Amino acid sequence: MTETTAKTLSSTQRAVHELRGLIFRGELPAGSDHLEAELAQRFGMSRTPVREAALILESQGLVELRPRKGVRVLPVSSDDMREIYDVLTELESLAAGQAAQQSYAAKDLQQLEAAINDMDRAIASDDLEAWADADDRFHTELVRLGNNSRIETIVAMMRDQVRRARALTLFMRPLPTQSNEDHRLVFEAIKNGDPAAAHDIHKIHRQKAKTMLLALLEKHRLTLI
Amino acid sequence: MTETTAKTLSSTQRAVHELRGLIFRGELPAGSDHLEAELAQRFGMSRTPVREAALILESQGLVELRPRKGVRVLPVSSDDMREIYDVLTELESLAAGQAAQQSYAAKDLQQLEAAINDMDRAIASDDLEAWADADDRFHTELVRLGNNSRIETIVAMMRDQVRRARALTLFMRPLPTQSNEDHRLVFEAIKNGDPAAAHDIHKIHRQKAKTMLLALLEKHRLTLI
DNA sequence: GCATTTGTTTACGTATGCATTAAATTATGC
DNA sequence: GCATAATTTAATGCATACGTAAACAAATGC
């Protein structure tokens, strides 16, 4: 997501990147097992960096290392999704409230507003991918403004998981027009320095999203990703 | 903390355990650097498992791997502590509220009650270490009852960090008598199935703890641990 | 005397090798 | 034919080896 200087990427970093990519693009389906040696060959490196990457992704909840079974891509059940959304909801709302306490200048909120406008545009042109992208940017920026690096890290991890589910459900749900009204209200609350409003509106927003996603997952029996 | 089957611990697991121990006991002070080879020798193993352990602890926010500088024990500033407590407060309160929704039977809440009683006893006998231990058990059990494994994991990580700070401040603060009244109220709320009360009381409880700890850290300039 | 360059050390990142042990497969007894 | 035991296979966990590049020191030029 956020590029650093990125001069020479270490093999381990590359492995993390590649593995994540494979998982998010669905090329390694949930529940599938992959031997370290196999992945190493695929990435053109030795087992060591693959193993290190697997350990890192394991502590982020994306995979699991099982002796002799290889690296297992963790499935995400609808119950997992409930857990994840509950954490997301709580921490993002906290961030929203705290963002509203920081008395940001208008220019500090440009990114946030831009994301909202992009979403409007995407909805108008019926571009769901673009909408999803802008939605991500909105939430990332919202959390950043909350000024708590732990929340940023945790939410980024949780959002990774949600992204996997959303890829499946994006095309089966109503156009998210209502959604953007919520975003704008949160934005206004932050601009006006109203923490309670920012918190509460965002919380309800996330709870609606959770209910909708879980209903879709249940309806279509999408236990995996 | 929670022992699994624990037949033969792998070297990597041992390394994680040993390293954590060294950090929590303050034998590796915050900010200090430690070469992989040095730690490997200390633990009687090769660099590989030490490195793997360091990677795991790095993603848990306890250490940092810096090329050629070794494994650095991360300092915890009072601003870090604010971040950590904010996350803890929010997620534990959520867990408390959700625990109250599960209509637990009395026997499911035995552990929780036992921890509260242990705290009372520890306070009566002026045993701060025992109190801290029981307090930990209370909070761990509370979160477990909330029935969200992600929250359990995250809170466990955050509590690790707090533990480091508490070790320093435990003996400079008032006896936590008020604290246990809060615990008991949360317990009652869960028993009576009152989510809002459980949530709100616990939240206020944690906010008080945060304020007190931060004041102590600031007062004594305990920027590190 | 100071700055710059050259040389040396050393810690890491990664590759590789090997012992262990779980799983799979075959063989054996009933 | 089926269950159990023996044997083989193979993937991991860990040790070790090594090239690279950063950090430090020494030496040289000015």
Subunit contact B94:A83, Cβ cutoff 8 A: no
* pLDDT of res. A224: 53
Same domain, A154 and A133: yes
Residue A192 lies in a domain: yes
Closest CB to B150 among A87, A98, A148: A87
How far off is chain A from B68, nearest CA to CA, in Å? 15
Which domain CATH number covers B25?
A: 1.10.10.10
pLDDT in tens, chain A (225 residues): 433 334 578 999 999 999 999 998 889 998 999 999 999 999 999 999 999 999 999 999 999 999 999 999 999 888 999 999 999 999 999 999 999 999 999 999 999 999 999 999 999 998 988 998 999 999 999 999 999 999 999 999 999 888 887 777 777 877 777 888 999 999 999 999 999 999 999 999 999 999 988 888 888 876 655
Which domain CATH number covers B115?
A: 1.20.120.530
Contacts of A61 in chain B (CB under 8 A): 150, 153
Same domain, A38 and A140: no
* pLDDT of res. A4: 37
Domain that holds residue B151: 78-219
Same domain, A104 and A52: no
Residue B109 lies in a domain: yes
* pLDDT of res. B2: 40
Joined together, the tokens standing for residue B139 give: 């909070």
Tally the C-alpha atoms within 13 A of residue B188's C-alpha that lie toward its C-beta.
Answer: 9
Q: For residue A85, what are the contacts with CB-CB under 8 A and spacing of at least 6?
A: A162, A206, A209, A210, A213, A214
Contacts of A83 in chain B (CB under 8 A): 148-151
Q: Does A77 touch chain B (CB under 8 A)?
A: no
* pLDDT of res. A2: 39
Give the confidence band of B3 by pLDDT, cuts at 50, 70, 90.
very low
Residue A4 lies in a domain: no
Statement: residue B153 has pLDDT above 90: yes
Letter string b/e over residues A188-207, b meaning 16 or more CB atoms within 10 A of that residue's CB: ebbbeebbebbbbbbbebbe
Task: Give the sheet arrangement for strand B33-34, strand by strand.
Answer: B33-34, B70-73, B63-66
Subunit contact B56:A61, Cβ cutoff 8 A: no
Residue B224 lies in a domain: no
Statement: residue B156 has pLDDT above 60: yes
Write the pLDDT tens digit of every residue in B172-187. Answer: 877 777 788 999 999 9
Residue A67 lies in a domain: yes
Residues 46-105 of A with CB under 7 A from strand C: 46-49, 52, 67-69
Same domain, B38 and B148: no
Strand D atom within 7 Å of B174 CB: no
Closest CB to B52 among A55, A84, A150: A55
Same domain, B21 and B121: no
Residue B34 β-bridge partners: B71
Closest CB to B90 among A51, A61, A94: A94
Q: Does B51 touch chain A (CB under 8 A)?
A: yes
Same domain, A38 and A142: no
Domain-ending residue, one of A28, A47, A73: A73
Closest B-chain CA to A161: B150
Q: Number of A to B CB contacts under 8 A, please give it.
A: 56
Same domain, A67 and A44: yes
Same domain, A188 and A148: yes
What is the residue-wise DSSP string for B2-21?
A: -----SS--HHHHHHHHHHH
Using C1' positions and the CA of A37, the closest nucleotide is D11
Residue B85 lies in a domain: yes
Strand D atom within 7 Å of B49 CB: yes
Sign of CA dihedral A177, A180, A182, A188: negative
Subunit contact B86:A148, Cβ cutoff 8 A: yes
Domain-ending residue, one of A73, A94, A113: A73
Letter string b/e over residues A19-57, b meaning 16 or more CB atoms within 10 A of that residue's CB: bbebbeeeebebeeebebeebbeebebeebbbbbbbbbb
* pLDDT of res. A7: 54
Give the confidence band of B224 by pLDDT, cuts at 50, 70, 90.
low
Residue B1 lies in a domain: no
Same domain, B52 and B113: no
Give the CA B47 to C1' D18 distance in Å. 15
Phi (first) and psi of residue A54, to 5 degrees: -65, -40
Statement: residue B97 has pLDDT above 90: yes
Same domain, B39 and B85: no
Domains contained in chain A, number: 2
Subunit contact B52:A56, Cβ cutoff 8 A: no
Statement: residue B69 has pLDDT above 80: yes
Joined together, the tokens standing for residue B224 give: 């590190």
Strand D atom within 7 Å of B35 CB: no
Statement: residue B143 has pLDDT above 50: yes
Nucleotides of D under 7 A from a protein CB: 11-17, 22-23
Q: Does A157 touch chain B (CB under 8 A)?
A: no
Same domain, B102 and B30: no
Subunit contact B150:A52, Cβ cutoff 8 A: no
Give the CA B224 to C1' C27 distance in Å. 65
Q: Does B8 touch chain A (CB under 8 A)?
A: no
Give the confidence band of B165 by pLDDT, cuts at 50, 70, 90.
confident
Q: Does B149 touch chain A (CB under 8 A)?
A: yes
Same domain, A106 and A41: no
Strand C atom within 7 Å of B45 CB: no
Domain-ending residue, one of B73, B96, B125: B73
Q: For residue A104, what are the contacts with CB-CB under 8 A and spacing of at least 6?
A: A145, A190, A191
Residue B180 lies in a domain: yes
